[in-house]
Structure formats: structure tokens, C-alpha cells
Structure 1
Amino acid sequence: MTVDIPPLGLGCANLGNLYRPMTDEDAGAIVGAALDAGYTYFDTAPHYGVGLSEERLGRALAGRDRASYTLSTKVGRRLRDLAPGETEPACDFFDVPARARAWDLTRDGIRATLESSLERLGTDRVDIAFIHDPENHVQEVYDTGFAALAELKAEKMVGAIGFGMNFSDHLARFVTDLDVDVVMCASRWTMLERTAFDDLLPAAERRGTSVVVAGVYNTGLLADPRPGARYDYTAAPVELVSRAQRMAEVCARFDVPLKAAALRYPFAHPAVASVVVGASSPGSVRENAALARQDIPDGLWTALVEEGLLDRDLPLPSGP
């Protein structure tokens, strides 16, 4: 089914101390700024700071009308307390609670993971639950994971169900094979990356599956196209830095920031319902909200095609 999702969401990995620690007060200020800027969709996961993101988001949303916002979290990694002397890989999250992650896509594991998330979030339901990064657990998805999630949907603990990952080919397979409501695809449908256009998006359109796009900046390069910028979590290749810089130059001719174009571009495909963007400060929340409202002339997209920066067979956004 097509899921009604607000077009701009706050990705809450940063609330789990992604790349650098932040205080509880800073995390609350980010969520507060998002609410003030009109965000009504929030996405989190147990993986983000081993539960810290969910805890902080739950506190920041406490007392809000539950019907006034859309909330998604993820299953697949079950959390447990660390034993004395035990350590857990940082996974790019720092100063986090003493907990460990363990893959668990069994029926009981999926249920226990969601119940723990609901407790951290301070709610009795989430609007969307994604199976998180199951590329190395595909058979478990088919054997137990997705059926367990569908059971929770039938019990109305979850509104819509699907998958969230970076691998658009896996997402396309799941959408084709299973009764998937919504998927979150990270970094595979951007101004620099068309992979999802060739596999996931046609499948989603055929099946009526909604797509949430994350990683629209490709982890940094489309936000700040300079040597040393990250692309898919590592240093961007020189040729991609050059391409992103040329895109920025074309955008500048139309008085449009590259980041605004990167936020708008995924909506060129009709299967895309929403874009989720993270933020490390209240200022970046407000900036992304303003960029999402930016007027972008159709001529900008045409110019990018004519410059050879977007493939000619790709769809282009239209309208302001």
C-alpha cells in the first residue's frame, strides 16, 4: 500500500552521538527546532547510539499529541546490557550507554526489539517499522523476520512495515517478493547515484510501495563538494568531487544552493514519498527546512542534463 508520510523527516542518528557526542540538552534542542520548523516525521533506530537516539527522541516528544507526528524505528538488532568488562564496537557512535547489539530476526527477537523501542520512545506504537540493514541476513528475513513484523502490524503495534538499507537491489527483491508497505533507501537515489532508479524504484512503482530516501547528500559530498569530503562514508574519489563541484556551479547560476537541489531531486520519481535528513545542530535543522522550501526553476535541471551531469534518461523534478 502507499503510505502517507510527511515529505521532510528528521533522521535521528545524530541524537545517538553519531561521529561526536552531544548533550541531552543539545539533542532536545534539535528536536525542538525541527518541531518549530514544521517537521512532523522523525526516524530513529536502536542501532543509533545503542538506544540513546530513541531515548532522547522519546523525551523530546513527550507530551506532544501523538497524532501530530509520524514516527519510524527499526528492528533486526536487539540490544542487551553489557556484561562487566565487555566492550562493544563504537560503530561511529560515541559516549553511549553500556549496551551491545545482537542480530535477531526471530519472531521473539523482532517482538522484543520493538517492545524495547516503544519503551525508550515512550509510546505504544510506531507508524513505521523497518527491518534494518538485513543484507547479510536475507534468509532470516524470509524465514521469520518479515512474518514477525507483519504480525505486529496486524496487532496495530506498527502502522506500516518494510525495510531500511543502502542496498537498492535487495530492497527491490523484497518489494517484489513480499507485501512491503514502505522502504527507506539510503544514498542510492541522489544527484550522484542512480542505482535505485534502475532496480528499486520501478519495482516500488509497480507494487505501490512508498519510498523514503535517506542520504541525499551521499554522506557529505553533495552538502560540501570539496576534496576530502565523504562519499558513502569514505573519502570521495577525485572524479566525483569534480562532478559535484560542477553541479554546484550550475546551481549557482540559478541562485540555488546545491544542497537545495539535492534535497529536491529524489522527488523526481513518483514512488518517492519523503526525504529524511539528519542534523547536528538546531541551525542545520532550520537550514534544511529552508532549503526544502527553496524555489527551483525547471531550467536548472535541464542545464544539469545539458552539461552531462545528469543522465538524459532520468526523470527531472518540476515545479517550485
Structure 2
Amino acid sequence: MAPTELSGVQRAIMKTRTIDSSGIQISELGFGAAGIGNLYRPIDNAHALEAVHEAWRQGVRYFDTAPHYGAGLSERRLGLALQELPREEQLLSTKVGRMLEPLASNAPVDGEGFAQAAPFIRRYDYSYDGVMRSFEDSLQRLGVGRIDILLMHDIGRLTHGDAHDEIFRTAMESGFKAMTELRDQGLVKAIGLGVNEWQVCDEAMNHTDFDCFMVANCFTLLENGITERFTDRCRRERVSLIVAAPFNSGVLAKGSSGSGHYFYGDTPADVIERVKGLEAVCREYAVPLPAAAVQFPLRHDCVKSVVIGMTDDARIRQNIDWYAHPIPTEFWHTLTDKGFIRPGREA
């Protein structure tokens, strides 16, 4: 089947939502391109391109990448794959905040979790000039003239520790100015943050005017404090959310007996016990745990898309099945009653 072919059944399955402030249409499932940047394990170019094309055939139209993923490898591969597909139907996001600098001759490559990463050093830079240079470099790696959504990557205490306050000030006063100019010039349609902690998004909203936030690992069946008040603030201020890593890096896909990661590391014993509790409710209602993990964020109307790693045809089709699996309302009520998820205003 050619990359652009899509069956009527698949078209009916994949729905879209709207980024509130910009009117951008986004597919409810997004392609997370860290995997084609060799996250945890290497894949070859042919498999990377086929993964993008299979996601397209399944109705996915949103593709997210970053310079960090494979030190530019993900952007290069994604750009090549998307060149074969209609640009007007694509929604593309990448990130700023890290500059890639060539390694010295014969210097060892630090993949930072990415196998066989490209030979570059990643250097944090949230300044005006750094954002502009990063954006221009991404355009060249992707082979495009514009980016639909531009996200500032990995600000927050979880990443930067004691340096957070200074980095945050630079990001808000300098880097954000560059992102705003790019939006005003029409080179990007929407701007936001791409982070692993929603609290820094809450902090950023006190300083700046963002369109959306990508939050990873913190809007899940295991981590959902975000719904206590922050989702209400996003609704009030018309800021949209994109949820990445709905499986908490793997454990909610592989289950309590699997080897899935949790926050990019090993899964602690207490988290395994919580997963077992979730699995018991899933068995009661005949709901696959990964299906519940994918669909949970989409129950909230401020959430516009869920981004999942996709690296091979079988996994992509499995993601679509989980996305479309019917889940009774009573299932969600039981999870709330048992304290796994918090009550919140849902879609």
C-alpha cells in the first residue's frame, strides 16, 4: 500500500481536535519520533521511514521530533519520510533549547539513551540567539521551510536542578521572545513547552503567552496530579495540552510482569504494585491496560493529542487498536472510586 493510501475504516477511527488559540487541527494520536532516533535500541533507515508511512496509512497526521533525539538523527529521518507525503496534511513539531555541536575527532559519542546517536554534543541554550539558530538548523535537517508547532524543550527543575531559576529566567525573557517573533512572522503556527513536569508550564503561564504545552510522563494513569487544577487553568486560558509518554516510558504498555521503563529508568516496586491494581480493574471490565492508558488523557477536553513512540508496523497498528478499543464509562468511575485517577472535568 502506498504511503498516502488510507482505508475508509481507518479514516473513521482517527479523529482530530483543535489547538484552541491557533485553530490548528491535530490528530488525536501523534507519532513520537524519539524511537526513530534510536531511543534505547538502533533501527535502520528503511525501518524508520516505513514506520512513518505506516502511521500515515493509519490516519496519524501529527509528527513530533526534537534535535535531542539521536542528536539530529530523528529529525533527518522524519524529514526524509515526510517529503513523500502531502505537506498540507501534515502537522509537524520540533523543539528548541539544545544546540548540536560536532564532536572533536575520535571523541566518544554520548548517546544520552539513544543508541548509535549522531556524533554531536548537545548543549543547552535557551537564549534568543540559541533558539533562532536551533530553529534554523532544524529546518535544514527536516528539509522544510516552516514548523507548525515549536516547543521549548526540557526546562524545569527535574532536568536542571539548582540551575532552574536562572535557566527559566533566560527562557522566559530571551528564548520566548525569539519564539514569539517566529510565530508573528508565520514561520511557526503555535509555540509552547515540551517538558516532563507540568508545574513548570503552570509557572510559565504567569510570564508568557503560549499556545500549547507538551507534557510527558505526567498525565497518565500513574501520574495524574495535573488534573487537580492545572487542566482547569488551561481551559480558562485556552491553552491546549499534548500528552506524550502515556505509558510512563513503558510500564503501562508492558504491565507489571514486563520490563517496561518508568520515567526512563527501572520501575520501582511500589509502582509495580499500583500497576497490579490497575490491571485488576482492567480484567474486571475486559479493558487492555494500554488502551486505558492511551484513552485516559483524551477524556479531558483541553487535551488535543496523545503522542506515542512508533517504530514498527505491528506496534503502530497495536496503538491504533488501543486508541479505538471501547471502554465503558463505569470503568473510569471505578478507577476514580479506587483512587487511581482524580475526579476532573472531562470531555
Q: Which residue of 1 aligns with 2:320?
A: 289
The Cα offsets for residues 132-172 of structure 1, whole Å up to 9 and x where unpaired, read as: 00223211112201011111111111110010001111011
Supply the distance in 1 between the matched residues of 2:233 and 2:188 (Cα, whole angstroms). Answer: 23
Q: Which residue of 1 aligns with 2:125?
A: 104
Which of these residues, 72, 79, 85, is aligned with residue 51 of structure 1? 72
Name the TM-score, length of structure 1 as normaliser: 0.94
Supply the distance in 1 between the matched residues of 2:68 and 2:229 (Cα, whole angstroms). Answer: 27
1:227-246 correspondence runs (5 A): 227=257, 228-246=259-277
Supply the distance in 1 between the matched residues of 2:142 and 2:118 (Cα, whole angstroms). Answer: 16
Which of these residues, 119, 135, 150, is aligned with residue 140 of structure 2? 119
Supply the distance in 2 between the matched residues of 1:145 and 1:117 (Cα, whole angstroms). Answer: 16
Secondary structure of the equivalent of 1:123?
A: coil
Q: Which residue of 2 aligns with 1:76?
A: 97
Q: Tell me the amino acid that sits aligned with residue 70 of structure 1.
A: L
Q: Tell me the amino acid that sits aligned with residue 123 of structure 2.
A: A
Which of these residues, 217, 225, 230, is aligned with residue 195 of structure 1? 225
Which of these residues, 236, 240, 250, is aligned with residue 206 of structure 1? 236
Supply the distance in 2 between the matched residues of 1:316 and 1:225 (Cα, whole angstroms). Answer: 26
Which of these residues, 24, 27, 38, is aligned with residue 45 of structure 2? 24
The Cα offsets for residues 166-185 of structure 1, whole Å up to 9 and x where unpaired, read as: 11110111123211001100
Q: Which residue of 1 aligns with 2:171?
A: 141
Supply the distance in 2 between the matched residues of 1:160 and 1:122 (Cα, whole angstroms). Answer: 19
Q: Which residue of 1 aligns with 2:56?
A: 35
Q: Can you give the 5+ residue segments of structure 2 that lack an aligned partner in the other structure?
A: 1-20, 157-163
Q: Tell me the amino acid that sits aligned with residue 240 of structure 1.
A: V
Q: Tell me the amino acid that sits aligned with residue 243 of structure 1.
A: R
Contact 1:3/1:210 (8 A) holds in 2? no
Which of these residues, 224, 234, 255, is aligned with residue 254 of structure 2? 224
Q: Tell me the amino acid that sits aligned with residue 171 of structure 2.
A: V
Q: Does 1:65 align with 2:64?
A: no
Q: Tell me the amino acid that sits aligned with residue 305 of structure 1.
A: T
CA RMSD of aligned residues (A): 1.6
Q: Tell me the amino acid that sits aligned with residue 42 of structure 2.
A: P
Q: Does 1:252 align with 2:283?
A: yes
Query: 1:73 Cα deviation (Å)?
Result: 0.3
Q: Tell me the amino acid that sits aligned with residue 23 of structure 1.
A: D
Supply the distance in 2 between the matched residues of 1:305 and 1:184 (Cα, whole angstroms). Answer: 24
Query: 1:15 Cα deviation (Å)?
Result: 0.7
Q: Which residue of 2 aligns with 1:170?
A: 200
Greater Cα offset, 271-280 or 49-58: 271-280
Name the TM-score, length of structure 2 as normaliser: 0.87
- Number of matched pairs: 316
Greater Cα offset, 18-27 or 106-115: 106-115
Supply the distance in 2 between the matched residues of 1:75 and 1:204 (Cα, whole angstroms). Answer: 22
Query: 1:88 Cα deviation (Å)?
Result: 4.0
Q: Tell me the amino acid that sits aligned with residue 110 of structure 2.
A: P
Q: Which residue of 2 aligns with 1:90?
A: 111
Supply the distance in 2 between the matched residues of 1:3 and 1:155 (Cα, whole angstroms). Answer: 17
